[in-house]
């Protein structure tokens, strides 16, 4: 993620993403639930993984005790620069590092870690969980979420803008699916136990889905083989074919897991990328 080839690098991503999370309602709702489940008010040191431009960090800081500390880590230098500018709270600092290589930038121990709307995008979830295990204290909570559409066996309904965008792109885009059994086994293998799993349905408007896909990294991930011009044309066509005021329901899954096996605070395994 520290590579300039990362889909989240660049000022266009940082600026459009920051405007989306500030102006839209969906991330505020996702963050509110994340902070509640993580019990941030009882924490002392919080790690915000894939912190983006700091929206989740600021939600955490609103609950974090006065003597608490928060460290945000993201692989995009531009995202981190915006997070630093928009989050002047002295309890917070932000560092640039790949998710699987976070130990050097954010040494433990932490008693909480949160990751909002990013877990399914990591190239190697196993490497990321090993990195988290290396910096979380025994008994620490990790809370992350992902759309139900990314989880095998979960019911979800494609909303109209998704359908219109898929058609404009020339067919349904491939979606990486995480199998629940495989995720549960991976969590156990890396030293975590699942405390709870919640399903939360966000209810908003199609306009938010349109604005989300206007972030270059989102559309690039959906249609990596197309040019920027082709993706832009498809996005414009899908917007024309969708009513922005139409309601939309997007189900999300929240995982609350606990670090149960102590391990030395060390860098993740050599295969982490």
Angle at 130 between CA 121 and CA 176, to 5 degrees: 25
The reported pLDDT for the residue numbered 157 is: 86
**Percent above pLDDT 70 for the chain:** 92
Q: Looking at domain 11-153+176-204+250-259, which CATH architecture does it have?
A: 3-Layer(aba) Sandwich (3.40)
- Integer Cα distance of 2 and 5 in angstroms: 8
Handedness of CA 148, 151, 154, 157 (dihedral sign): positive
List the 136-147 sheet strands across, edge first: 92-96, 69-74, 45-49, 110-115, 136-147, 247-259, 192-205
pLDDT per position as a tens digit, 122-143? 999 999 999 999 999 999 999 9
What is the per-residue pLDDT for 174?
A: 55
In which residue ranges of the chain is pLDDT below 50?
A: 1-4, 263-273
Task: Compute the chain's Rg from CA coordinates.
Answer: 18
> In this structure, what token pair is assigned to residue 239?
């917007």
Full-model pTM? 0.91
In tens, the pLDDT along 219-235 reads 888 888 899 999 999 99
């Amino acid at each position: 993620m520290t590579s300039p080839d990362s889909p989240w690098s660049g000022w266009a991503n940082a600026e459009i993403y920051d405007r989306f999370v500030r102006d839209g309602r969906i991330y505020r709702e996702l963050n509110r639930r994340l902070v509640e489940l993580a019990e941030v008010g009882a924490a002392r040191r919080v790690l915000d993984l894939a912190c983006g431009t700091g929206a989740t960090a600021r939600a955490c800081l609103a609950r974090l005790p006065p003597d608490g500390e928060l460290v945000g880590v993201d692989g995009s230098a531009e995202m981190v620069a915006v997070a630093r500018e928009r989050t002047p709270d002295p309890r917070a600092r932000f560092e640039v590092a790949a998710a699987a290589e976070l130990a050097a930038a954010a040494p433990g121990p932490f008693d909480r870690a949160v990751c909002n709307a990013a877990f399914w995008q990591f190239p190697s979830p196993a490497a990321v969980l090993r990195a988290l295990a290396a910096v979380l204290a025994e008994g620490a909570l990790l809370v992350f979420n992902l759309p139900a559409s990314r989880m095998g066996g979960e019911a979800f309904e494609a909303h109209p803008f998704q359908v219109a965008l898929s058609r404009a792109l020339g067919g349904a885009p491939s979606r990486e699916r995480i199998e629940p059994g495989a995720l549960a086994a991976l969590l156990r293998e890396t030293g975590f136990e699942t405390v709870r799993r919640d399903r939360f349905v966000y209810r908003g408007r199609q306009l938010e889905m349109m604005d989300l896909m206007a972030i270059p990294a989102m559309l690039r991930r959906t249609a990596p083989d197309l040019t920027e011009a082709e993706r832009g044309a498809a996005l414009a066509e899908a917007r024309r074919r969708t009513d922005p005021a139409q309601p939309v329901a997007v189900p999300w899954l929240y995982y609350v897991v606990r670090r149960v096996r102590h391990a030395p605070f060390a860098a993740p395994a050599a295969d982490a990328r």
